[in-house]
């Protein structure tokens, strides 16, 4: 419980009637009127589908004792409405204050980028745990407070959930928290009010244009995160990405770079990239990792750089980092001992991620080994990437099966047709379209020969398939493993 005066101290507002804010006690905060309880502060945010101002009467009816909004409304007690310029930003700041400003009591590092966020955040979490610290994780796959797992529903939770979670991490004694920061979260001000000790940028490629509309706006959303860092934080960017310098423009934090291809503050060079793992020259030291694939060279290097920027000893970081294994659903490898077929499960769901995944696998193939790819595109998401993803997958695979991903409200057959439109005529002879994802995976196994590699892309760690608003149990890794067990040829 907090006095309203204390909560409002972090925002600029105008109000026509309340003279003594200390008289009003706040028992909770909500931006969804359905979550309002007696004593709550309701923040009326304009969303993409609804305007919170329309629900102010409902919030008052349910017991809200104060409202934050961008304007007053008719037929509501104007004395209880505190008008701010940006309600989304006010929600983040007031939620942070309500939960005792948790990021003042721990070191929070945010990871942003199109690809690699989950891997980098999770590897950082594991690294600091291995170094003996209590650590929190906020990611697409799961949220963790030390060893306690809290299911994840969004890449970045809403401000109330987020600050509640961070508060629990403080209570649990966490020293560090590593958090994925999506472009949606930055644009929607979900991270407003948080104090970041550091931020890392992995890369930016074609994605989320259904939301941001243009690539420039997508970049601008990522850049907002860096623009809001204070001068005590560090900003680490991938110098091998052509948009890295954009992130650092107007950034007040201490600026650092990492690179696998050129010069930077932190560098690595790939010496070996084989099915048993990577060998890197990392910051002048030969470094062996169980992680597979060229893209993991960037992930490992960024985690190493974060560890060093947090003040840890070089050898300590390298030793702990060498023990790390793949993050679930990120180049997750399983084998069929019977037919010596390798399966790779990966979350790759953008053209760039699919290209990196398949190029990495192809570079490891020998002699007559073939690459079979099962891939789909999600419904109600960026449609422009569908033909591009299919084109990339067809070029890099010996056989490709287009299938359903999470069609959501769309017809999977139409999504697949849009993917097919990107495949050139001479590549269509090696392309199959099978709507049922389970059957698509089974077909890939039936088509595979001894020594071949099957990549199942798009869903990675997800344990469901979303169809017409319902989430049905579905696990790519489990389906592929079960199919491998049926082989008896």
The better pLDDT of the pair 17, 142 is held by: 142
Question: Do 240 and 262 contact (CB within 8 A), yes or no?
Answer: yes
CA distance 143 to 169: 11
Element (H, E) at 122: helix 117-130
Contact 437, 474 (CB under 8 A): yes
Fold of the CATH domain 332-485: 3.90.190
Tell me which of 166-175, 238-247, 368-377, 480-489 is least confident: 480-489
CA distance 321 to 288: 9
CA distance 290 to 322: 7
With 0-12 / 13-18 / 19 or more C-beta atoms within 10 angstroms meaning exposed / middle / buried, residue 209 is: middle
Closest CA to 246 of 213, 215, 230, 222: 222
pLDDT of residue 194: 97
Per-residue pLDDT tens over the stretch 415-433:
999 999 999 999 999 999 9
316-333: average pLDDT: 91
* Helix, strand, coil share (%) of the chain residues, nearest 5: 35, 25, 40
Q: How confident is the model at residue 208 (pLDDT cuts 50, 70, 90)?
A: very low
Residue 488's pLDDT is 59
Contact at 8 Å (CB) between 198 and 233? yes
Angle, to 10 degrees, between the axis of helix 351-364 and the axis of helix 295-309?
Answer: 110
Least confident segment among 18-22, 204-208, 468-472: 204-208
Predicted TM-score of the model (pTM): 0.80
Average pLDDT score over residue span 326-336? 87
Q: Can you give the pLDDT at residue 232?
A: 97
Q: What is the pLDDT of residues 247-289, one digit of tens each?
A: 999 999 999 999 999 999 999 999 998 877 899 999 999 999 9
Q: Given pLDDT bands bounded at 50, 70 and 90, which one contains residue 210?
A: low
Tell me: domain 2-96, CATH 3.40.1390.10, correct?
yes
Tell me how far apart the alpha carbons of residues 11 and 90 are, in angstroms, rounded to a whole number.
6
What percent of the chain shows pLDDT beyond 90?
A: 77
Domain residue ranges in the chain: 2-96, 102-321, 332-485
* Range 355-380 average pLDDT: 93
Q: What is the pLDDT of residues 148-191, one digit of tens each?
A: 998 776 656 889 999 999 999 999 999 999 999 987 888 889 99
Question: Which of the residue ranges 68-77, 177-186, 438-447 has the most confident prediction, judged by mean pLDDT?
Answer: 438-447
Q: Which residues of 381-391 are buried (b: 16+ CB within 10 A; e: fewer)?
A: bbeebbbbbbb
Q: What CATH number has the domain spanning 102-321?
A: 3.40.1190.10
Residue pointed to by tokens 């017991």: 63
H helix runs in 131-213, sequence order = 159-171, 183-187, 209-212
pLDDT for res 436: 97
Residues sharing a CB contact under 8 Å with residue 354, sequence separation 6 or more, in sequence order: 348, 375, 389, 392, 393, 457
CA torsion, points 146, 147, 151, 155, in degrees to nearest 10? Answer: 40
SS3 256: strand
100-143 pLDDT, tens per residue?
999 999 999 999 998 889 999 999 999 999 999 999 999 988 89
Residue 213: pLDDT band (50, 70, 90) is low
Q: What is the pLDDT of residue 206?
A: 54
pLDDT tens, residue by residue, 29-72: 999 999 999 999 999 999 878 999 999 999 999 999 999 999 98
């Amino acid at each position: 419980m907090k006095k309203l005066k204390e909560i409002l101290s972090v925002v600029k507002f105008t109000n026509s009637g309340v003279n003594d804010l200390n008289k009003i006690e706040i028992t909770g905060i909500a931006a969804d009127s359905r979550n309002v309880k007696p004593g709550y502060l309701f923040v009326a945010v304009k969303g993409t589908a609804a305007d919170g101002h329309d629900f102010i009467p409902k919030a008052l009816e349910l017991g809200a004792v104060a409202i934050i909004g961008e304007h007053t409304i008719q037929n509501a007690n104007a004395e209880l409405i505190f008008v701010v310029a940006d309600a989304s930003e006010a929600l983040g700041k007031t939620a942070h204050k309500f939960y005792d400003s948790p990021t003042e009591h721990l070191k929070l590092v945010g990871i942003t980028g199109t690809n690699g966020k989950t891997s980098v955040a999770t590897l950082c979490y594991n690294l600091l745990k291995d170094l003996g610290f209590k650590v929190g994780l906020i990611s697409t796959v799961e949220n963790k407070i030390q060893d306690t797992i809290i299911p994840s529903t969004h890449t970045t939770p809403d401000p109330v959930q987020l600050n509640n979670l961070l508060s629990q991490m403080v209570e649990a004694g966490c020293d560090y928290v590593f958090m994925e920061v999506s472009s949606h979260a930055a644009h929607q001000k979900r991270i407003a009010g948080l104090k970041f000790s550091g931020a890392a940028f992995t890369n930016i490629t074609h994605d989320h244009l259904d939301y941001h509309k243009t690539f420039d706006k997508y970049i601008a959303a990522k850049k907002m995160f860096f623009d809001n860092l204070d001068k005590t934080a560090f900003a680490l960017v991938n110098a091998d990405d052509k948009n890295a310098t954009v992130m650092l423009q107007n950034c007040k934090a201490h600026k650092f770079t990492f690179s696998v291809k050129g010069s930077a503050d932190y560098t690595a060079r790939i010496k070996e990239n084989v099915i048993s793992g990577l060998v890197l020259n990392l910051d002048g030291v030969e470094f062996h990792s169980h992680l597979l694939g060229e893209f993991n060279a960037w992930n490992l290097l960024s985690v190493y750089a974060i560890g060093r920027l947090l003040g840890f000893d070089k050898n300590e970081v390298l030793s702990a980092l060498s023990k790390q294994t793949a993050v679930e659903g990120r180049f997750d490898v399983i084998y069929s001992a019977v037919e010596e077929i390798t399966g790779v499960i990966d979350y790759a769901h953008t053209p760039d991620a699919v290209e990196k995944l398949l190029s990495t696998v192809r570079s490891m193939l020998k002699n007559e080994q073939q690459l079979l790819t099962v891939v789909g595109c999600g419904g109600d998401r960026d449609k422009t990437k569908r033909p591009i993803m299919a084109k990339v997958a067809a070029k890099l695979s010996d056989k490709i099966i287009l299938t359903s991903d999470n069609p959501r409200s769309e017809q999977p057959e139409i999504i697949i047709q849009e993917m097919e439109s990107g495949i050139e005529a001479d590549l269509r002879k090696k392309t199959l379209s099978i709507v049922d994802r389970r059957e698509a995976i089974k077909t890939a196994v039936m088509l595979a020969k001894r020594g071949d590699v099957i990549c199942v892309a798009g869903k990675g760690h997800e344990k469901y398939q979303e169809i017409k608003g319902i989430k049905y149990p579905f696990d790519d890794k489990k389906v592929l493993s079960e199919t491998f067990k049926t082989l008896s040829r």
